[in-house]
Chains A and B, each alone.
Chain A
């Protein structure tokens, strides 16, 4: 039997606010345990939450960019459960009246565009974390620096049909979050993570199968791998006639498998109810319109512009806009006068490859877009060959120094001075009268011999096009 996967993602993205969602503590990463805490985020008796307006605005921004309806009367709710990293024993979240509802984003897999529905985007606070290294190796320690850090939870409709689509959707959401300055999207710090819901059903059926949820996937690759694993696992179960158990699973990145965390029977009853410490969050339509007016150019619009204004292929444009920093680097390189197609090529091929090898990002580069533009201009002027440019680029990437300087120091420049080459050509022809005879007698392949001689003499720096041109003229 052929099965069709039904996938929905819940993405948690940390909002780029300076302070926490309900208190004034900083959200800064990497502080000493519990340094970023106060009575409110410690959940001490008597404290009350106050909503961070900035967090609300950022969530609205994301909601607008994903075509959601923004609720003018959304409400916070308490999600109750016990865990040591949850100091109040409830998380302030949103339940039946979320801030943003019914939106969509477009994704493309293998050139096929698809619209994926967004059920809701709501605000909630993060929990702290348990630390298992401390003075007493048998004890657990609680670090509440993250407790109260603002998150949005973005819930998709179960409309994704493959791990590739899920990955593309998550990449799209990451791009949006970073383009909008809604979050920093730093996956390694857990700024963006996904819970993946998946069930299988016979292809053609419109009934939903029993689903599993794999939690805390903090990379695009993990989302794809975990879903691919779940599809195979569930398929095997179904083919063996075993029912799928509704459960929460975790991803083991080393073993590349998922494993059960808790079953439905063990699932919490979160006893959601409206947060009585916070009034209904009433918003003015004017505020929403102001935020809409301030939205920056989004990836889809950017890709259209790159194709229209710069003549890029849809593929190149898509690759460039997938990451905000890359797109901006490209825009700036072109802004410094670089040929757009050359710039796109260098950025999507050479630069991408090196960043990938080093697990680095555009932000880590030692050079700016003006340097890349300078190098591309040198190629255009014939001062360096494309082959030499690769060497220049290696140095540029490693040191960030000006391309002209690199060329000079490394002795890479093509001899493009016609007068200087003319003298050399005359000298070589005078030294080899026999070969000149042969050429003039019709053995034109002797031309290669002269090229070789001159390249030897210039250490390979002669501009090949100019040289060929000169030789032909002198030998004619």
Chain B
């Protein structure tokens, strides 16, 4: 296995033991980018110029006997939704082309304080609206496991970069599954923390009450490592939680003896699941049982409305969040407008892609006078019912398990003409966002054709520790996470 395909914690152990250098790691990753990036297209912006010297700086510290943290100098990638001072931040949109922000996102500040060595900004669905990374204004990203397939979305660039060895790990954001579904499609670990665990300051907003940043990594150990760095209260984000942050790597141990794992009766009913996804799920539940877990069937009657609720609330918030892209201060302004109204219309017409426009229109409509009560208010009520369903469930079980996605990675273009089909692929991930719960997708097997499948685990608010412990136990019992795509 090449260095660029190894987990960060293992690489860190080896560099501390002087078996390898950070520079060798960096060269391995840079070599991958050199060879495969033109085909994978994981990045919108590469900042690889300083990566080698960043790695060498870490090596110099090691040579001087100074302490070096586990991510210091390790080449990482950021979804191009995180604000980076002086580095173009596009959010996958034409409307932010050329935008070089004057400040850093809180998570970027925290990563920098731990020695961030940034490879670049990864591709995403425009403004994180999508499940395939095909709605990016900068072209689609391809799945390293099958180049004719999508890497999932919206954090598809981050997932593809890590899967291809073009980054050791990456940050993504998850509004309805945008970390977990790409992780499932590329056989990686994707962890969406509890809403409020990770600061949203400097994470370009899609749907403010649902967005949450988190890691996409090769294994749960690296996820815990990165979660340690990015978690914690941020005075600049009023929705960030004042909760103590444990050392998440402490939970990389143990088994699942006596852990009750909920299986939602309403999920995976006849016809919803791809048969191969269903088979993998059965196998994964067997593994959990073998580790000592007790499966418990639970009922969540509100879950069937999750897709509908999500596709009202997220567009409502988005329609407001995206108002600021009006051509007055940022990005390209449309030429030839004769008055203000036309300036706004033309700028937004030219600057936004079809999916973003669709969601802005959906949200604008749902918030309009006369429709607000029927859509927004009702959706908020059902969201509350769903939270209540989860409250009841987590009184009975420690974890809820299920498939991350009803289908494996689909072909590029396959669902572009049918947005509703695309929306339905999020059915299993977005309940966690609506309820603000932590959830993780871990490698859960492959189809006969070799396409990765994910196992999703959800836990109660701020119980990332349970996710990490269970994922770790599952990893010890399986080797899905050790397989790598055969790039050619």
On whether the beta carbons of A80 and B91 are closer than 8 Å, the reply is no
Chain B residues positioned under 8 Å from A44 (CB to CB): 83, 101-103, 330
As a 0/1 sequence over residues 56 to 91 of chain A, the CB contacts with chain B under 8 angstroms (1 = contact) are 000000000000000000000010101010011110
Q: Is A48 an interface residue (CB 8 A)?
A: yes
Q: Give B199's nearest chain A residue, CB to CB.
A: A48
Q: Is A315 an interface residue (CB 8 A)?
A: no
Contact of B368 among A39, A49, A271, A279 (CB under 8 A): A271
Q: Is B18 an interface residue (CB 8 A)?
A: no
Q: Is B204 an interface residue (CB 8 A)?
A: yes
Contact of A50 among B89, B105, B208, B235 (CB under 8 A): B235
On whether the beta carbons of B367 and A89 are closer than 8 Å, the reply is no
On whether the beta carbons of B328 and A277 are closer than 8 Å, the reply is no
Q: Is A278 an interface residue (CB 8 A)?
A: yes
Q: Is A276 an interface residue (CB 8 A)?
A: yes
B214-269: which residues lie under 8 A (CB-CB) from chain A?
235-239
On whether the beta carbons of B238 and A39 are closer than 8 Å, the reply is no
User: Cα distance A353–B129 when bound, in Å?
Assistant: 66
Q: Give B368's nearest chain A residue, CB to CB.
A: A269
Flag the segment in B3-11, B49-57, B317-325 that touches A. Answer: B317-325
Q: Is A46 an interface residue (CB 8 A)?
A: yes
Q: Is A47 an interface residue (CB 8 A)?
A: yes
Contact of B96 among A45, A47, A278, A279 (CB under 8 A): A45
A259-308: which residues lie under 8 A (CB-CB) from chain B?
269, 271-273, 276-279
Chain B residues positioned under 8 Å from A90 (CB to CB): 320, 323
On whether the beta carbons of A276 and B208 are closer than 8 Å, the reply is yes
Q: Is B209 an interface residue (CB 8 A)?
A: yes
B288-318: which residues lie under 8 A (CB-CB) from chain A?
316-317
On whether the beta carbons of A39 and B344 are closer than 8 Å, the reply is no
On whether the beta carbons of A279 and B367 are closer than 8 Å, the reply is no
User: Cα distance A35–B42 when bound, in Å?
Assistant: 39
User: Cα distance A81–B320 when bound, in Å?
Assistant: 9
On whether the beta carbons of B368 and A46 are closer than 8 Å, the reply is no
Chain A residues positioned under 8 Å from B330 (CB to CB): 44-45
For residue A91, give the distance in angstroms from its CB to the closest CB of chain B: 11
On whether the beta carbons of B238 and A276 are closer than 8 Å, the reply is no
Contact of A276 among B96, B317, B372 (CB under 8 A): B317
Q: Is A142 an interface residue (CB 8 A)?
A: yes
User: Cα distance A302–B232 when bound, in Å?
Assistant: 51
Chain B residues positioned under 8 Å from A16 (CB to CB): none
Q: Is B113 an interface residue (CB 8 A)?
A: no
Chain A residues positioned under 8 Å from B96 (CB to CB): 45
Q: Is B205 an interface residue (CB 8 A)?
A: yes
Chain A residues positioned under 8 Å from B239 (CB to CB): 48, 276-279
Q: Is B203 an interface residue (CB 8 A)?
A: yes
Chain A residues positioned under 8 Å from B340 (CB to CB): 84
Q: Is A43 an interface residue (CB 8 A)?
A: yes
Chain A residues positioned under 8 Å from B326 (CB to CB): 82, 84, 89
Chain B residues positioned under 8 Å from A50 (CB to CB): 235-238
Q: Is B200 an interface residue (CB 8 A)?
A: yes
On whether the beta carbons of B364 and A271 are closer than 8 Å, the reply is yes
Chain B residues positioned under 8 Å from A269 (CB to CB): 368-369
For residue B340, give the distance in angstroms from its CB to the closest CB of chain A: 7
Chain A residues positioned under 8 Å from B317 (CB to CB): 273, 276
Q: Is A51 an interface residue (CB 8 A)?
A: yes
Contact of A46 among B203, B319, B323, B364 (CB under 8 A): B203
For residue A276, give the distance in angstroms from its CB to the closest CB of chain B: 4
For residue B87, give the distance in angstroms from its CB to the closest CB of chain A: 13
Q: Is B423 an interface residue (CB 8 A)?
A: no
Chain A residues positioned under 8 Å from B204 (CB to CB): 45-46
Q: Is A351 an interface residue (CB 8 A)?
A: no
Q: Is B329 an interface residue (CB 8 A)?
A: yes
Given contact pairs A82-B323, A273-B372, A276-B208, A48 touches B101 in the complex (Cβ within 8 A): no
Given contact pairs A39-B102, A46-B83, A88-B323, A271 touches B238 in the complex (Cβ within 8 A): no
On whether the beta carbons of B99 and A39 are closer than 8 Å, the reply is no
For residue A135, give the distance in angstroms from its CB to the closest CB of chain B: 17
User: Cα distance A47–B238 when bound, in Å?
Assistant: 11
On whether the beta carbons of A45 and B367 are closer than 8 Å, the reply is no
On whether the beta carbons of A48 and B200 are closer than 8 Å, the reply is yes
User: Cα distance A82–B324 when bound, in Å?
Assistant: 8
For residue A19, give the distance in angstroms from its CB to the closest CB of chain B: 14
Q: Which of A43, A276, A279 has the most CB of B within 10 A?
A: A276
Q: Is A42 an interface residue (CB 8 A)?
A: yes
Contact of A273 among B200, B237, B316 (CB under 8 A): B316
On whether the beta carbons of A277 and B324 are closer than 8 Å, the reply is no
Q: Give B328's nearest chain A residue, CB to CB.
A: A84
Chain B residues positioned under 8 Å from A276 (CB to CB): 207-209, 239, 317
As a 0/1 sequence over residues 408 to 428 of chain A, the CB contacts with chain B under 8 angstroms (1 = contact) are 000000000000000000000
On whether the beta carbons of A80 and B323 are closer than 8 Å, the reply is yes
On whether the beta carbons of A273 and B103 are closer than 8 Å, the reply is no
Given contact pairs A84-B340, A142-B328, A269-B369, A48 touches B320 in the complex (Cβ within 8 A): no
For residue B174, give the distance in angstroms from its CB to the closest CB of chain A: 16
Given contact pairs A48-B201, A84-B340, A43 touches B367 in the complex (Cβ within 8 A): no
Given contact pairs A50-B235, A50-B236, A88-B323, A277 touches B208 in the complex (Cβ within 8 A): yes
On whether the beta carbons of A279 and B316 are closer than 8 Å, the reply is no
Chain B residues positioned under 8 Å from A49 (CB to CB): 238
Sample of 16 A–B contacts (CB below 8 Å): A45-B205, A45-B330, A47-B202, A50-B236, A50-B238, A80-B323, A87-B328, A88-B323, A89-B323, A89-B326, A271-B319, A271-B320, A272-B367, A277-B239, A278-B238, A278-B239
Given contacts A47-B202, A50-B238, A272-B372, 4 further A-B contacts (CB under 8 A): A45-B99, A46-B203, A88-B324, A142-B329
Q: Spell out B's residues near A (CB within 8 Å).
A: 82-83, 89, 91, 96, 99, 101-103, 105, 200-205, 207-209, 235-239, 316-317, 319-320, 323-324, 326, 328-330, 340, 344, 364, 367-369, 372, 376
